[in-house]
Structure 1
Amino acid sequence: MVEGVGVAYGAITVVNAIPAFKGAAIGVDLKVVARVKLVEKEIVEGRSRVRGKNVHYDTSLLEGVLRVLKKRIGLETGLIVEIESEIPACGGLKTSSAVANAVIAGISDALDLGLPPLKVAEMSAEANLISGVSITGAFDDACASLLGGLCITDNGEKKLVKRVEVPSFKTIILAPSFTVKKSHLKIERLKLMKTFFEKIWNIALSGDWREALFLNGILCSLALGYDTSLALEAITRGAVTAGLSGTGPAIAIVGDVVEWARKLNFKGEVVETCLRG
């Protein structure tokens, strides 16, 4: 048995990659630590603590990681993983990308492989795709999770088109007490808006990630049936930008509106963090 440790971080959406397979995300300072054990017995086990609470862990993503590493490096072992996550479990905050990143980095540590971050992100995206956790593989999320800053990607090509450092703005995550399964969302509505999302992606590419995040959040919320009032109010309160992250239900608010957020009558968790530039 060999052991290793891997670390990755959460991220927030700037451009949803589902419509055009082109996405953008920014890292946030919410850590995931994966303690990995590679064992001879062909088993896959995962235990997870999220923000201090034990939660049930579905091992399908871990199985996807093993399939990818078997194909890429010929890995033939069982896997036992203990995950400690600061990322709220509501959805939209790139938990699956962060976990896959941390596990692959942990395996790299255990075997002294020295995998570079972009290679880890590429494998993470493949694992997310083949395990059915992500529609696009979420290469943008995987890059932002590992590299921080604004990562703009072509997910179809698994290409990091551009990475830009961003200020370490205070960031509020509104994490509802409920989760929403992708299968219950009208994802086809997003796909019908491909041309709009391509334009938003180009806005992010040109440097205005604040505008891109806001426009993306409005379009995604309207398409998927989420309320936009909190994001809009955050802007009026002085936020730099705000919007739905991923396919929700989490809302990301960038800017120093902490006092306003603390006073919200919000059914869920108000998480205070910052961008990881």
Structure 2
Amino acid sequence: MDGRAVAPAAGTVLNALATGTGSAFAIDLETTATVSLTSDGDVSGEIADDPDADTSLIERCVELTVARYADRAGLEAGDVGAHVRTETEVPMASGLKSSSAAANATVLATLDALEIADAVDRIDACLLGVQAARDAGVTVTGAFDDASASMLGGVTVTDNTTDELLAREPVDWHALVYMPPERAYSADTDVDACERIAPMAELVAELALDGRYGEAMTVNGLAFSAALEFPTGPMIDALPLADGVSLSGTGPSYVAIGEREALETVRERWDDRAGTTRLLRTRTDGTRTT
């Protein structure tokens, strides 16, 4: 019994580290997971093109999903094993929610292998991946904001302390991503520094809940770039051409939204910096089986 699913990456509107409230939007970079069920009870994982990568997150996703839903598929959870393999367009530790995309794709691929993917609520599936991320230690907040955007598509606002979806809106934006060559791991983030800018994060949350996503992104980006000691130069490059621009996640990537022509000009500026750029669209369809 095999299953396959793809999940989009996401960019940041509001980083949840300051207050627990976060906001993100799905973008057109994908992670694909393939799950093959076995009858030996063992779970193994593999990340394409990176044989030494830590597979604890995707393995934990399979374990939690099987434990929760195997009986609904008419199976004994203890007897069900699996091998999961992921392939991705999303650079790891880049701030573009690679972990959330991998978790969502793995959970849905496991449900697809169990032949019950259409019967499981997408938020419930998303929360399994969030729990797996916490168990694997790859997130500080649980990243429900990032995970919900990847699972549902569009832009979401969440309370990560209660795993509550506060708002979701489908959006159709052009998005420009700048990925410096450095990597930054969420689990290594200076949380204390982020918590000190809580008043700014509260303002960003108000803007996001009012649908003023571009302004929210820019305030978030300036505040968190300062707190996490990332350069604001890439943001200044994008202003005032972009409708909004932010450090994505805990860096080092930046994401800008706006009109395609304006973003092409921003791209010329970002191309002068070390790293790579991608001009994308947002995604409204979220994680799906294939």
TM-score after normalising by structure 2: 0.87
Q: Is the 8 A contact 1:90 1:175 kept in 2?
A: no
| Alignment correspondent of 1:21 | 20
Q: Percent same amino acid among aligned pairs?
A: 31
SS at match of 1:144: helix
Which of 94, 101, 105 is the matching residue for 1:102?
105
Correspondence list, 1:26-41, <5 A = 26-41=25-40
The letter of the residue matching 2:242 is A
The letter of the residue matching 2:31 is V
CA distance in 2, matches of 1:25, 1:186: 20
| Alignment correspondent of 2:147 | 142
| Alignment correspondent of 2:64 | 68
Q: Mind listing any 5+ residue stretches in structure 1 that lack a counterpart?
A: none
Which of 246, 261, 275 is the matching residue for 2:267?
261
Correspondence list, 1:1-277, <5 A = 2-49=1-48, 53-54=49-50, 56-69=52-65, 71-73=67-69, 75-76=77-78, 77-113=80-116, 114-167=119-172, 169-182=173-186, 184-236=188-240, 238-255=241-258, 256=260, 257-262=263-268, 264-277=271-284
CA distance in 2, matches of 1:183, 1:5: 28
CA distance in 2, matches of 1:87, 1:117: 22
Q: Mind listing any 5+ residue stretches in structure 2 that lack a counterpart?
A: 71-76, 285-290
CA distance in 2, matches of 1:55, 1:15: 33
1:14 offset after TM fit, Å?
A: 0.6
CA distance in 1, matches of 2:227, 2:12: 16
1:68 offset after TM fit, Å?
A: 2.5
The letter of the residue matching 1:131 is A
CA RMSD between the two structures: 1.9
CA distance in 2, matches of 1:178, 1:55: 20
Runs of 4+ in 1 over 6 A off after TM superposition: none
Q: Is the 8 A contact 1:171 1:275 kept in 2?
A: yes
TM-score after normalising by structure 1: 0.91
1:126 offset after TM fit, Å?
A: 1.1
CA distance in 2, matches of 1:207, 1:171: 17
1:59 offset after TM fit, Å?
A: 1.3
The letter of the residue matching 1:137 is G
